[in-house]
Amino acid sequence: MKGFKFVLAGIIFGIVMVKSEAVSWYRIQEMFRFQAFHMYGIIGTAVALGALAVYLIKRFRINDSEGKPITFNDKDPGWKKHIIGGLIFGLGWALTGACPGPMFVNIGYGYLTMIIVVIGALLGTYLYGLLRNRLPH
Amino acid sequence: MLELLKQPWPWYASGIAIAAIMVTLLYFGKSFGFSSNLRTMCTLLGAGKKVAFFDLDWKTQKWNLLFLAGSVVGGLICATVLKNDAPLQLSAATVKDLKAIGVTFDGKLNPGQLYGMEALSVKNVFLLLTGGLLVGFGSRYAGGCTSGHAISGLSTYNYHLYWPLLAFLPVALS
């Protein structure tokens, strides 16, 4: 099956999220209060290595598995949406301790009440789609 | 080996693993971004008929939904095969701060007080629903969540993406 590699990548992602404790509400509280380096270490390492990999991919024009050049879609400009969206996101992250990935990983772990958070997130996404044209970007 | 995997992983091992996942997805011709799945799920629920933002061909996002399904299985594996019963090592300062706002640290991943089935009250449902709504709305507004914005965004030198990162952090400090 062609899609199995994505399932496998997802499984590894889920395991990393639990074992790094990035799915923990407590760890997110600790992060937002700057009381431990842990979460900053995780995100910092991922960004630094990711940036190095992207540099190498661009520098050596590395192709993907199908032989097509790997391209990076630049996010469209505008700063308002990043600030306002980021603030709203941060509030929700602090409240639930879960960003979109960990929500689903937590359900798999057995925190079934996280389904309520997912329902909220779907409503929020829908609401954004509905109001999109009226919001400052 | 299994015993080693069962323990909590140090931050650098986790960071390396996340970067490896991002690069693997790039090699498969895809861009790491988890919150896009929420949009696709809205499409699958029929939102595309009413709102143009959701009028997309979900099949182009099938790979990401498979990734999501895998992540749920990953969580399940950690609750079974790779289960670790040792309490979480939260910093003493956080334990103290949480106590001051009425949250007792129970050593688990998430507080039973908020996420336990037995604690399911109208107040908790409201909190979880509101929190989720903010995450969903905010991530789509900003154009991505932690994976797409922070990890993929910063890695691809989208410098203006530093903005949301700065905005993410101070909000909960009060």
Per-residue pLDDT, B3: 87
Residues in chain B within 8 Å Cβ distance of A57: 26
pLDDT at B30 over 70: yes
Tell me the ipTM for this assembly. Answer: 0.95
Under the banding of pLDDT at 50, 70 and 90, the label for residue B174 is: very low
Task: Give, in order, the Cα–Cα distances in Å from A80 to each of A87, A100, B31, B55, B129.
Answer: 11, 22, 23, 25, 25
Judge contact between B73 and A10, C-beta under 8 A: yes
Under the banding of pLDDT at 50, 70 and 90, the label for residue B163 is: low
Per-residue pLDDT, A71: 85
Interface check for B22 against chain A (CB to CB < 8 A): the answer is yes
pLDDT at B159 over 70: no
Could you report the per-residue pLDDT of B101-139, keeping only the tens digit for each? 999 999 999 999 999 999 999 999 999 999 999 999 999
Of B53, B30, B21, nearest in space to A73 by CA: B30
Interchain contact, A111 vs B125, CB within 8 Å:
no
Of A14, A20, A17, A27, nearest in space to A94 by CA: A27
Q: Is the pLDDT higher at B152 or at B9? A: B9
What is the count of residue pairs from A and B with beta carbons less than 8 Å apart?
460
Calculate helix-pair angle for A100-109, B122-142, nearest 10 degrees: 140
Percent of chain B with pLDDT over 70: 90
- For A97: left if phi > 0, alpha if psi spans -120 to 50, otherwise beta; the answer is left
How much is the average pLDDT of A38-67?
92
Mean pLDDT across chain B: 90
> How far is it, in rounded angstroms, from Cα A3 to Cα A99?
24
Under the banding of pLDDT at 50, 70 and 90, the label for residue A52 is: very high
Answering whether pTM is above 0.90, one says: yes
Residues in chain B within 8 Å Cβ distance of A98: 131, 135
Tell me the nearest-neighbour CA distance from B25 into chain A, angstroms. Answer: 8
Interface check for B81 against chain A (CB to CB < 8 A): the answer is no
Per-residue pLDDT, B157: 72
Q: Look-up: residue for tokens 């057995």?
A: A110
